[in-house]
Structure 1
């Protein structure tokens, strides 16, 4: 089945890097890639007064850049399975993305974000955070700046087994796994001596849901902040993509709350797929 992939862009190197990752990730799949630009997102200004003529010029410039970006993608990517389209809007970024997801039946949003060079953590950009928090109908794959594509053979799936995952929530994980016959590695940070009966049941259910996939379950002692432990797990086991479900009161939801996001880092080394509950 043909995939529809949305690539929001501000025409930066960071956004282009995420697009290149997307093209390589889906190299063997039939896809339509939609480059999306929201003028109000990428052309903000500190001027208190601008003429309508200047606004029109800036919009025309953005449209031209978007068309040029499509042409550039077609030149560097000669994959016959891939088609490129553009979406331009002067509405807000979130409104533009929400509309595009519905109108074009988008399966996945892929965005770039810059990491802190030489550090073990990065702070997600404000636009990326807003998209992950507000877009409820589509998973979002966040790609670190200048990330070199590696086949995602090992996929980490942190969970505390506090809830049951629906088939719909697990579908993006399964589809990602099927691209390269990857191994799914659920990992739980133990905050107590043993799992409760409900947690044991949820773990057994997850095992059943993933029985047709190469899967190994892992447990870690509670020795540091969750961000640090997940980072350690990723580095020690050579994880290629991190996947989480963003549900109410989840680790991701708490991570993205201000001012936590200003103080807590997250792993900058690999792409991060966030699945809405």
Structure 2
């Protein structure tokens, strides 16, 4: 049974992520861990906060069942935590052996640089034990026909991440579209990493798309997503290597500010 974590602050933003997850996994047996961080450990009113949180979590599940319909394969754990938001959720995910965390990002009018708030960016950094799926608030659920995977292959793609990508591809019989930006042409290790990865996904993938940088990497990726009608974008989070450039310097933040499709971030899992 899949274990899926959906943090919630009871906003429309977080509800949209939960709704999307319920639709995406409608044919899978899942336990949804709906987690609300209602106070910190030192809050003198934390017990009252937990009671109020529990009531709202109960109402949230009723709303979800009303909106998507009852599903005998879906089960719900409603959890109120008194802890630091990011560390508490990350620790819970690891203890429960969560397979995926689903987060919503904010609507354009809510914050200038959408992302999904600083807390969620910290979650991406803290949640090293499972993939994170970021769901744009302004999208309607639809079938995922094409999943784009982009990397410069400086590091090998871990087998666990290959399996995760294949799993998502299998959910709705999606085609994986490998995309690379033209660089590292003289890097033999990167070429080998790419060849190994493309071989591992060959049964479910289209031909690789290799693009020059048109107007910065972000705009190149966004244009690719738009022109190739991509339904989900996937990357690996390398905090100290290639994606130091992508995440540490804010490119993933900028991507998610403008990205109109779900964004799957895989953890840096050693082979």
After TM superposition, list the pairs within 5 Å mapping 1:48-197 onto structure 2: 52=44, 54-76=45-67, 77-116=69-108, 122-191=114-183, 194-197=185-188
- What displacement does 1:59 show? 3.1
**Deviation readout 1:166-193 (Å, 9 max, x if unpaired):** 211222111100101111111111136x
Q: How many residues align?
A: 264
TM-aligned CA deviation for residue 32 of structure 1:
1.0
**Aligned partner of residue 39 in structure 1, secondary structure:** strand
Structure 1 stretch 7-16 or stretch 71-80: which is displaced more?
A: 71-80
Counterpart contact for 2:54–2:78, Cα < 8 Å? no
Aligned to 1:19: 18
User: In the aligned structure 1, how far is the partner of 2:61 from the partner of 2:253?
Assistant: 37
TM-score (norm 2): 0.88
- Are residues 1:237 and 2:228 paired? yes
Distance 1:183 1:250, change over 3 A: farther
Deviation at residue 123 of structure 1 after TM alignment = 3.2
State the SS of the aligned residue for 1:69. helix
1:100–1:140 CA distance, 2 compared to 1 (3 A): same
Cα contact 2:154–2:189 (8 A) shared by 1? yes
SS at match of 1:24: helix
1:211 maps to 2:202 = yes
1:202/1:250 CA distance change after superposition, 3 Å: same
1:164 CA displacement: 1.2
Question: Would you say the 8 A contact 1:122–1:268 is kept in 2?
Answer: no
Task: Give the deviation of 1:207 after TM superposition.
Answer: 1.7
- CA shift digits 1:28-81 (9 cap, x unpaired): 11111111001137xxxxxxxx993x5543332122111221232233331222
Q: Which secondary structure does the structure 2 equivalent of 1:79 belong to?
A: coil
Gaps of 5+ in 2: none
Is the 1:186–1:218 contact (alpha carbons within 8 Å) kept by the matching residues of 2?
Answer: yes
Alignment CA distance shift 1:122-1:190 (3 Å) = farther
Q: Which structure has the larger Rg over C-alpha atoms?
A: 1
Q: SS at the partner of 1:171?
A: helix
Query: Matched residues in 2 for 1:51 and 1:165: separation?
Result: 43
Report how far residue 110 of structure 1 moved. 0.3
The CA distance in 1 between the partners of 2:168 and 2:9, in whole Å, is 26
Residue-by-residue CA offset, 1:65-112 (whole Å, 9 max, x unaligned): 112212322333312221111111111122322232233221100010
